[in-house]
Structure 1
């Protein structure tokens, strides 16, 4: 979105420098930016779909492999304390 706004700003500056005969260059630039924003792009070709699927498969393999081989990153590396051994003071229960 930032790129599209920057491009429309550059178009506006170019219009103001080159063409003084336009009655309202701001409306013309906004109209062009609006058309470019809602333009439907062409569908991706087969090669790009294949590469996207391979990249996605590699990413999921990496994530699931590391969850399987190193679960300490998810579950923690230390034992969880037994809550039945906690005192009332540790639990915040008044005496």
Structure 2
């Protein structure tokens, strides 16, 4: 009976003596300390280039074909053509 109770006690003593033992982490990231990170996969680089190219095409195409969305849709009136009534000046 003493032997059956002694083994768990020894395991507890062993765990108390090494409380700061680092457990193995199974994370999906690499640890890069004082060295550059690994390059991204070629597929990711190609996909990023395609998405960026499409986004810039979309912006520039719509600036070229529909500039009213950015610069305003109405023609600016020359202020010298305004009348005193439009300006609120009493006659």
Structure showing greater Rg: 2
